[in-house]
Amino acid sequence: MKKTIYSLSAILVFMFTGCMSSDDAPIIAAPLEDNVLSVSGEISESTTWTNNNIYVLNQKVVVSSGVVLTIQAGTIIKGTEGTGSLASALIVAKGGKLNAVGTSTSPIIFTSINDNIAIGQTAGTNLNETNSGLWGGLIVLGDAPCSFSGDVETLQIEGIPADDTFGLYGGNNPTDNSGVYQYISIRHGGALIGEGNEINGLTLGGVGSGTVIENIEVVGNVDDGIEFFGGTVNASNLLVWAQGDDALDIDQAYSGTINNAVVVLGTNSDHAFEIDGPEGSATGSFSLKNVTIIGNQITEDGEYADYRSNAMGSTENIYAYGFKSSSDVELDNDGVATNYNNGLLSFGTWEVVLPEGIENASDIFVNKGSTVIVTDFGSTATAISQGANTVGATTSLLNWTYANTKAGLGF
């Protein structure tokens, strides 16, 4: 059962009730109390957020095209409660940049207004991974290629209402640069904006390879942990813990590399990986490698992976343990099964600690195509004892994370 915690956020919703649009006034920075600033609206000039303040996102704050927002290491950003148009989020629009460079000892923290974390701390005491949906999330939008239905070049990102033009992403610049994102922890997000539509912890829409994404953590998000909508950006040293839907989600012909990641499923988590392919005629191939995925034994939810919708790319060096006998790695339909047969979707080494009742590692690999037969699906998987893995994430690179401390992962 999720906790509800009442605080200053209820007051803020009444202070700022307007729905933001692309032509809103410049950003408002209003002091709430000593060293706590409420920010809302559009950032139209390059600025710096410093670690001697806490910044409260009141509804949507947008880093506009041509603008750089710099966030110092150790800075805490808190989002207000609210759903629909009142959901809080930090959005880096196409052409904008976020220069957010934390460190292992002073990460940049995005969390809820309800979190009692204070300046100089890396964790509060009143929330945990089950507290989710308390604010929105971090959304980064770029100009890199995506594969959209109808072969349109740009699209509105999920989580942003259609009339907010700062939500557009996609283009024709594969090396597009949306800034630097290092040592960032994103907690307790995923506010509802519509029926069945929540904001991801970190949304990457059409983000290009000129962008740096390293050492990112997402904890307790209602929807996906990190979702890649097309684009070419590479991402490394990722950790997702207790998301409500999928941990790492790939869509619209994402064509970058995800390297060195840990997924820890929670009681409401769905898949560690959900992989979709192109939606238009443009194709792309992802690389997902060196990942440790830890299952959930408590509820019926919690799968290894689902490959769907014409997925194309490679998945290799995966270490998996803690899953149930009902969990599987699934080819969802004939299209993706055909891609597997044609070598467009490939699987390298998987080392799996077998759940009770499963005799062979290959048994967790299931083809659900209705007419297409596949051969050797799961042949690259082997059964091992827990801790005997030779593949998976280098977890020591993620020992800085809140999840490592709170979940006792032993990194």
Of 259, 242, 234, 216, give the one whose Cα is nearest residue 401. Answer: 216
Q: What is the pLDDT of residue 160?
A: 81
Render each residue's pLDDT in the chain as its tens digit; 411 residues. 333 333 343 333 333 333 444 334 445 556 667 899 999 999 999 999 999 999 999 999 999 999 999 999 999 999 999 988 889 999 999 999 999 999 999 999 999 999 999 999 999 999 999 999 999 999 999 999 999 999 999 999 987 877 888 999 999 999 999 999 999 999 999 998 766 678 999 999 999 999 999 999 999 999 999 999 999 999 999 999 999 999 999 999 999 999 999 999 999 999 999 999 999 999 999 999 999 999 998 877 899 999 999 999 999 999 999 999 999 999 999 999 999 999 999 999 999 999 999 999 999 999 999 999 999 999 999 999 999 999 999 999 999 999 999 988 888
- Residue 349: both structure tokens together: 């080494």
Reported pTM = 0.92
Q: Which residues of 294-328 are buried (b: 16+ CB within 10 A; e: fewer)?
A: bbbeeeebbbbbbbbbbbbbbbbbbbbbbbbeebb
First to last CA, the chain: 28
For the chain, how many structural domains are there in total? 1
Q: In 308-380, at which residue ranges do the beta strands (DSSP E only) sit? A: 313-321, 329-331, 345-347, 350-352, 365-367
Model pLDDT, residue 144: 98
- Domain holding 124, by residue range, is 8-407
In a domain, 310, yes or no: yes
Question: Would 1 be classed as within a structural domain?
Answer: no
Contact yes or no for 374/407 (Cβ under 8 A):
no
Distances (CA, A) of 61 to 42, 83, 87: 6, 15, 10
φ and ψ at residue 229, rounded to 5 degrees = -95, 95
Count Cβ atoms within 10 A of the Cβ of residue 39 and give its class: 0-12 exposed, 13-18 middle, 19 or more buried: buried
Domain assignment present for residue 98? The answer is: yes
Percent of the chain surpassing pLDDT 90: 85
pLDDT of residue 18: 37
pLDDT at 194: 66
What pLDDT does 21 receive?
A: 43
Residue 55 maps to a domain? yes
**Helix, strand, or coil here: 12?**
helix
The answer as to whether 236 is a domain residue is yes
CA-to-CA separations, 65 to 141, 166, 361, 383, in angstroms, rounded:
10, 9, 49, 50
pLDDT tens for 16-47 read: 333 444 334 445 556 667 899 999 999 999 99
The CA-based dihedral angle spanning residues 333, 339, 344, 345, taken in that order and rounded to the nearest 10 degrees = 30
Residue 17, in any domain of the structure: yes
Residue 3 lies in a domain: no
Q: pLDDT tens across 158-193, in order?
A: 878 778 889 999 999 999 999 999 999 999 999 987
In a domain, 174, yes or no: yes
